């Protein structure tokens, strides 16, 4: 049974509840979207399955955008628009395994451990791919993400997530390592 307390708030920012749980806006409020929302959705290409980010990318891998002088990964921004803030310590993971997908129902929250377990379960582990970095804990994609997150995540948090020493993260972010 749907109660008024379980209905989400209109995403235009008016803080009124929508009339149906599937709705994102009250009838005429869609045109009131916050500038961030309209700019974001302008860069989405909807396919039969995924909603793909067509804007800027990090190494042709994850979508990236800047809003109010802060960088966001596009799929995380999509989660925030649809569900609100991402709880501390959680990541936004892709059920569809497509890094450019921003479709809210293809995204779910999980820890770094959940992400690694999902990756292993789906046989997507980078170490299974031929590479001259097969014995290293970090791969080139991880290095790019670590550099991107400079100033947004602490070096300690990144070190714990990647199971390396914080000094290693510091060297990567300062450009001393992984040139």
Show me where the domains of the chain are located.
1-33, 35-124, 132-179
Which residue ranges in the chain fall short of pLDDT 50?
126-134, 179
| Short-list 125, 129, 18, 140, CA closest to 82 | 18
Confidence at residue 78, expressed as pLDDT on a 0 to 100 scale:
92
Domain 35-124 classification at class level: alpha beta
- Pairing state of beta strands 51-53 and 57-58? unpaired
């Amino acid at each position: 049974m749907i109660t008024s307390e379980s209905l989400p708030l209109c995403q235009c920012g008016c803080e009124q509840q929508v009339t149906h749980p599937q709705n994102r806006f009250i009838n005429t409020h869609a045109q009131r979207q916050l500038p961030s929302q309209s700019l974001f959705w302008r860069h989405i290409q909807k396919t039969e399955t995924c909603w793909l980010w067509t804007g800027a990318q990090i190494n042709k891998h994850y979508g990236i955008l800047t809003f109010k002088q802060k960088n966001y990964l596009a799929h995380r921004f999509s989660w925030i628009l649809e569900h609100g803030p991402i709880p501390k310590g959680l990541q936004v993971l892709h059920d569809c395994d497509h890094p450019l997908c921003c479709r809210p129902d293809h995204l779910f929250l999980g820890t770094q451990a959940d992400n690694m377990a999902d990756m292993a379960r789906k046989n997507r582990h980078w170490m299974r791919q031929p590479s001259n970095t097969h014995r290293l804990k970090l791969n080139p994609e991880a290095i790019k993400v670590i550099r991107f997150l400079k100033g947004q995540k602490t070096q300690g948090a990144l070190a714990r997530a990647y199971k390396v020493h914080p000094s290693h993260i510091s060297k990567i972010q300062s450009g001393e390592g992984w040139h």
